[in-house]
Chain A
């Protein structure tokens, strides 16, 4: 055992020195941190985008302008909500008042959750009608901490700019061609005396009203000539501008349509803003707690994250094991090693050493996850709170530890056996091909299983020992039947022991062999050997 530990120590020290290890160690915390910060960072990093409109019909410019302005107002409202929560007095002390967010509609969390629904428009409107940022700040002053920075209004995301001078604007085809250099960044538009790149360009034809598609009416031929409104841009990933414009035009159009058909517009608007609240309930929960909270959502999906960590963790370190074994074999260091330790001690040492590498990595990952979540948690961070609750109260972490342990031993054993029969990394890669194919399955099923965690597919896969760690982890939050948990667990442990036993046989003989990797038949003979 002493020798195995010495081997383990070297494996740990050497692997902990590799670039791959450190990259692996840091990449995950960075991802976690980014996923919390990315929205803010992105918003800050995205410059104001300039949009030009060639409205030949002349009816929609105002509507689009208004809609873009509304988008900006919503941004301000949201930013202010975040600001208020961030600098709210968290302690209720003398002379300080604690904010009751429910009481202030502008920053009511429920309203925040619903900000994409139409009813939210009312809330935003109300916010600005009652004085906007300034008035709210004044009202909330006593409830905010004293040493806070000033509220900074977010930038306009989109800015309407006049068309640059390009020939006859009524010739849409020609105009589109003329505008291309602007969109591609070859030519610049001038905004407030500065050169800017044009982000998008919208063309509304003169006869747009005749191109409207109505139910129960034969469609007009829509071809090159009559394809409705044109939205031109080189960045088709950012669809916000397109959606805003589309909504503005269609709403305006419908309003006109109502008028045409003699329907009262204000009535329609009223009707459009009616809605019934909707709540999801979980039948498994106790009376009074059935409401599906954010924590429940996270609880359902968190296992996916853990499966992913498990998978990445296990295969990163099993790969290390494979590489090291092949290095020792191809360098023939193995002979010196075997004159000092037995094949079994060597194998154990490697398994332990690499397991520690893996534990360090996963420990760091889970640790940072908890730290980041805890740092973010607090009255204003619902998401982080919910995550913290899930992490500490559910059995996910212990399950993760157990499945990591056995999953690792199982796959590490297989990789070690492969490593021991191959002389070069190339040979190993040939053998790894089929193994990879089998291994990839849990990644594919990862996203489906939470939707039906105790369904046939999930249950069947759980009973395949090489998938047990991943699939059971995947199901961990859905209270799988005890029979499944214990049964697959026992099978997994038994299978792991079998793998390790067979690996030790193959390893002992394979590690000294040179030349071609053995045939399957030969492998079986080794496994049966004394």
Chain B
């Protein structure tokens, strides 16, 4: 697969402060790439550099094989982090304006604008000035403006923020629609559920540094496999199984309890990489352990995130 976007040793300094440290990244065609990281990680900075809105301090970026994103601007759509529209312009004409800037003819652009507004539930607002729209509606208009010219690469900075659950779904739909037509999508988010549901790969950065880059399943493998149990019985017999690496008493949310606290009824069993969870389940039956819950599903991306960048995220917030 050819890569649509390539970052090599890209670095951005703001005075003494390094916002992005030597970042390498390669996004293949057709990917839905999630850009994750705590506040202040450098996501927006990286995105702005990709779009050539700001210049990197060092390193090279190539988009569709071009060293300047502006050379291929017609093939890129962008939704910035801070959303805003011309207040006095009508919804359709904003969409059409940005589309013409991306090379569509005025007639095409107008047609496209109305189509999109209708398709994504804003038909009644097409001819309203954007100052009459709610924040979420305005944001939708802006997303539509970003994709009106049917770009091959869509870059969305926090597209879900400020949307209600229904519109978050609409947003997911927009992304999936684009992907289904072979477009490449890069978006940043703080909501792991969205990333987990729609991304095939993620880039995790913290304090400007790349922590993880790869598919979702690879990400999940970065934390040890485990089985979660809920039982009032004694789980002593399980401790001696070869598959079980460690046993931790946890609370309802899965947070480990301190050593001085009495365990139960929730337990986390860390299991060996190649172990079969069924062996443990069998052992429970054999030893008469009465289970209320046996959960060996993969960890959520949320857990991966907290596990990988929890420390730096908290530190960053003190910075």
Question: Chain A: residues with CB nearer than 8 A to chain B?
Answer: 3, 6-7, 10, 14, 17-18, 327-328, 330-333, 335-342, 512
Contact at B102–A340, with CB atoms within 8 Å? yes
Contact at B84–A332, with CB atoms within 8 Å? yes
Q: How far is the CB of A23 from chain B (nearest CB, A)?
A: 16
Contact at A512–B53, with CB atoms within 8 Å? yes
11 A-B contacts (beta carbon < 8 Å): A6-B101, A10-B97, A18-B88, A327-B87, A333-B85, A335-B53, A336-B145, A338-B53, A339-B53, A339-B76, A340-B101
With contact pairs A336-B78, A336-B146 given, residues A331 and B101 touching in the complex (Cβ less than 8 Å) = no
Contacts of B52 in A (CB 8 A): 339
- Confirm or deny: B83 has a beta carbon within 8 angstroms of a beta carbon on chain A: yes
Q: How far is the CB of B155 from chain A (nearest CB, A)?
A: 8
Contact at A331–B98, with CB atoms within 8 Å? no
What CA separation (Å) do A336 and B139 show in the bound complex?
A: 13
B 132-145 to A, binary, CB cutoff 8 A, 1 in contact else 0:
00000000001001
Q: How far is the CB of A256 from chain B (nearest CB, A)?
A: 74
Helix, strand, loop or mixed for chain A's interface?
Answer: helix
Contacts of B80 in A (CB 8 A): 332, 335-336, 339
Contacts of A332 in B (CB 8 A): 80, 82-84
Question: Chain B: residues with CB nearer than 8 A to chain A?
Answer: 48, 51-54, 69-70, 73, 76, 78-80, 82-89, 97-98, 100-102, 142, 145-146
* Residue of chain A at shortest CB distance from B69: A339
Contacts of A330 in B (CB 8 A): 84
| Given contact pairs A333-B84, A339-B73, a sample of 18 additional A-B residue pairs in the complex whose CB atoms are under 8 Å apart | A6-B97, A7-B101, A14-B88, A18-B88, A331-B84, A331-B85, A333-B85, A333-B86, A335-B80, A336-B142, A336-B145, A336-B146, A337-B101, A338-B53, A340-B98, A340-B101, A341-B73, A512-B54
Contact at B48–A335, with CB atoms within 8 Å? yes
Contacts of B53 in A (CB 8 A): 335, 338-339, 512
* Residue of chain B at shortest CB distance from A330: B84
* Residue of chain A at shortest CB distance from B80: A335
Q: How far is the CB of B189 from chain A (nearest CB, A)?
A: 18
What CA separation (Å) do A7 and B102 show in the bound complex?
A: 12
With contact pairs A336-B146, A339-B53, A342-B70 given, residues A331 and B102 touching in the complex (Cβ less than 8 Å) = no
With contact pairs A332-B83, A335-B80 given, residues A3 and B101 touching in the complex (Cβ less than 8 Å) = yes
Contacts of B89 in A (CB 8 A): 14
Contact at B48–A14, with CB atoms within 8 Å? no
Contact at A14–B101, with CB atoms within 8 Å? no
Q: How far is the CB of A12 from chain B (nearest CB, A)?
A: 12
What CA separation (Å) do A176 and B44 show in the bound complex?
A: 81
Contact at B84–A339, with CB atoms within 8 Å? no
Contacts of B82 in A (CB 8 A): 332, 335
Q: How far is the CB of B45 from chain A (nearest CB, A)?
A: 12
Q: How far is the CB of A19 from chain B (nearest CB, A)?
A: 11
Contact at B86–A331, with CB atoms within 8 Å? yes
* Residue of chain A at shortest CB distance from B97: A10
For B76, B78, B89, B101, the residue with the greatest tally of chain A CB atoms inside 10 Å of its CB is: B101
What CA separation (Å) do A336 and B157 show in the bound complex?
A: 11
* Residue of chain B at shortest CB distance from A509: B54
Contacts of A333 in B (CB 8 A): 84-86
Contact at A339–B88, with CB atoms within 8 Å? no
Q: How far is the CB of A352 from chain B (nearest CB, A)?
A: 15
* Residue of chain B at shortest CB distance from A324: B86
